Amino acid sequence: MADRVHPMPAPPPPSSSPPPGHDAAAATETTPLHPSFRGAPPPSPGTYIIQIPKDQVLRVPPPDRARRYKKLAARPARRRRLRHACCGAFCGVLLLLLLAAAFVGVVYLVFRPRAPSFSVASLSIRGLDALAVSSLTPQIDAAVRADNGANKKTGIDYRGGGEVTVSYSGERLAAGPWPAFHQAPRNVTVFSTALAGGGVYLIF
């Protein structure tokens, strides 16, 4: 007995129209969530919007202001150079002062200089006649003692041009030259000098 073959129903022809839910999905994918933020709001009446390329903003000044722009741009660099020069000079002067102070301190600690002391070893006066009516001309011979014993490493040079004076109650009686000599450390020197005066009046 032969088998029977039943015919199958033909499939429906493909349709160009999308399925029912496809339109909603496509609309959801392409439609923005917030349609109100698509673009910037329109400008208010009376305003203008000027767009300048980014590579030309604050880079290329106009030709009529190029020289002024160059001067203004060079001012900060000039001020920085001047400020650096002033700081360098101030630091140099401060360094020199510190070096000088250190040198003086070292010299003082090494030599420890002291001022010499002076005293009158002997004194002789001539020309003071109390019975004279006219002015007196006193003559004084003085022996001065210069003591440099306090200095152990420092000698003293006395140069010419100085003066030795004798006064009484603020009145100058006589004056004489100061001799020039060198005094060694830990030395005591006694020198003599002649002093002369004039126009001295004695009031009793």
- State mean pLDDT over 103-114: 86
Residue 159 shares a structural domain with residue 180: yes
Domain C-terminal end among 55, 80, 111: 111
- 49, part of any domain: no
Residue 126 shares a structural domain with residue 179: yes
Instruction: Identify which of 7-11, 62-66, 192-196 has the greatest average pLDDT.
Output: 192-196
- 36, part of any domain: no
Residue 180 shares a structural domain with residue 145: yes
Instruction: Identify which of 7-21, 109-123, 190-204 has the greatest average pLDDT.
Output: 109-123
Residue 149 shares a structural domain with residue 94: no
Residue 140 shares a structural domain with residue 173: yes
Confidence label for 92 from pLDDT (cuts 50, 70 and 90): very high
- 189, part of any domain: yes
- 78, part of any domain: yes
- 94, part of any domain: yes
* Owning domain of residue 102: 63-111
Tokens describing residue 130: 């109390």
Residue 121 shares a structural domain with residue 147: yes
Contacts of 31 (CB under 8 A, 6+ apart): none
Residue 134 shares a structural domain with residue 159: yes
pLDDT surpasses 70 at 5:
no
- Higher model confidence: residue 60 or residue 115? 115
Domain C-terminal end among 111, 140, 167: 111
For 21, 32, 49, 183, the CA distances from 46, given in Å and listed in that order, are 48, 31, 10, 100
Confidence label for 91 from pLDDT (cuts 50, 70 and 90): very high
pLDDT in tens, 161-173: 788 888 888 788 8
Residue 80 shares a structural domain with residue 100: yes
Confidence at residue 75, expressed as pLDDT on a 0 to 100 scale: 67
Radius of gyration of the chain (CA): 56
pLDDT in tens, 138-159: 888 989 899 998 888 888 898 8
Per the structure, the count of domains in the chain is: 2
| Residue (of 144, 100, 107, 90) closest to 122 by Cα position | 144
- State mean pLDDT over 2-24: 52
- 159, part of any domain: yes
- 184, part of any domain: yes
How far, in Å, CA of 184 to CA of 198, rounded?
36
HSE-CB for 70 with a 13 A CA cutoff: 6
pLDDT surpasses 90 at 95:
yes
- State mean pLDDT over 109-117: 86
Which single residue is written with the structure tokens 């903003």?
57
- Between 9-13, 78-82, 115-119, 124-128, the lowest mean confidence (pLDDT) is in 9-13
Domain C-terminal end among 75, 91, 111: 111
HSE-CB for 162 with a 13 A CA cutoff: 11
> What stretch of H or E contains 192?
strand 188-196
Residue 105 shares a structural domain with residue 170: no
How far, in Å, CA of 153 to CA of 191, rounded?
22
Residue 138 shares a structural domain with residue 173: yes
- 179, part of any domain: yes
